[in-house]
């Protein structure tokens, strides 16, 4: 009986060890994420599989898979992100949901949209036209859209899509980022629910640093599921150019 029990325990030891290593790795090192929406186009496309660095900003309860860590404010080995970082975070009004956006404002920053132009701390952020791109809609269709390069304070440059200058989120109040929070925006500026909309109004609102999960560093791969009507079609919608693509 004891010999049989020992054999069972030995048989279970290896998968248990593998499982423990995987949990530790996804908690402390990196974690993959799948992107189902186009709010971060053109930087991140629908169907991209991202790899996020979990150690970039330290650790909180949301660093643990399924958010089962202890409920405590702040972060272990915590560091603020830089303006321009692309970050995976837990939605403040529903932490079971993960979003990916770009950090636009840090604690104490004044952030405002005026006629579609981003203003940080009273200065309009430089914007340069960079041709056009193809934006993918939620129904899988594509349309041409203006592409710009935005230069944030500190010098980080990144692309955005912008189709107009009088949309519902193109004129906002002057919003001050509270201590311990960051201001997030999507690169697809006219199709992004982000910190421009308060949480009580169904938006993202200011994001507590505790909710940061990982810095999105690389696209592992990409499959355009929206345009693949069946599993067989997935093979024709694999975007090889997106594999191991730095963000």
- Of the candidates 60, 101, 162, 195, the residue annotated as catalytic is 101
* Domains of the chain with CATH codes: 2-111+175-246 (2.10.109.10)
Is residue 39 annotated as part of the catalytic site, yes or no? yes
- Of the candidates 39, 60, 63, 195, the residue annotated as catalytic is 39
pTM for the model: 0.84
Spell out the per-residue pLDDT of the chain, length 247, in tens: 555 444 543 443 333 323 333 333 344 456 899 999 999 999 999 999 999 999 999 998 887 765 555 565 667 778 899 999 999 999 999 999 999 999 999 999 999 999 999 999 999 999 999 999 999 987 778 899 999 999 999 999 999 999 999 999 999 999 999 999 999 999 999 999 999 999 999 999 999 999 999 999 999 999 887 777 677 666 778 888 899 999 9
CB environment 1-10: b (16+ within 10 A), e (fewer): eeeeeeeeee
Q: Does a cis peptide bond (omega within 30 degrees of 0) precede residue 42?
A: yes
Is residue 101 annotated as part of the catalytic site, yes or no? yes
């Amino acid at each position: 009986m004891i010999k049989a029990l020992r054999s069972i325990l030995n048989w279970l030891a290896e998968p248990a060890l593998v499982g423990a290593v995987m949990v530790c790795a996804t908690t402390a090192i990196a974690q993959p994420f799948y992107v189902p929406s186009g709010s971060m186009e053109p930087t991140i496309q629908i169907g991209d599989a991202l790899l996020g660095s979990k150690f970039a900003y330290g650790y909180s309860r949301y660093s643990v898979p399924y958010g089962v860590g202890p409920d405590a404010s702040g972060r272990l080995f915590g560091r603020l992100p830089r303006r321009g970082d692309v970050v995976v975070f837990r939605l403040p009004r529903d932490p079971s949901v993960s979003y990916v956006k770009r950090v636009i404002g840090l604690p104490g920053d004044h952030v405002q949209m005026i006629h579609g132009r981003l203003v940080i701390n009273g200065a309009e952020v430089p914007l340069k036209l960079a041709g056009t791109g193809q934006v993918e809609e939620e129904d899988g269709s594509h349309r041409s859209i203006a592409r710009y390069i935005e230069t944030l304070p500190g010098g980080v440059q990144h692309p955005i899509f912008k189709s107009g200058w009088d949309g519902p989120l193109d004129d906002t109040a002057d919003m001050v980022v509270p201590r311990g929070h960051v201001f997030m925006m999507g690169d697809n500026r006219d199709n992004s629910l982000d910190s421009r909309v308060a949480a009580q109004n169904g938006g993202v609102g200011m994001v507590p640093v505790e909710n940061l999960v990982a810095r999105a560093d690389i696209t592992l791969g990409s499959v355009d599921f929206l345009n693949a009507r069946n599993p067989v079609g997935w093979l024709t919608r694999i975007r090889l150019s997106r594999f191991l693509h730095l963000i």
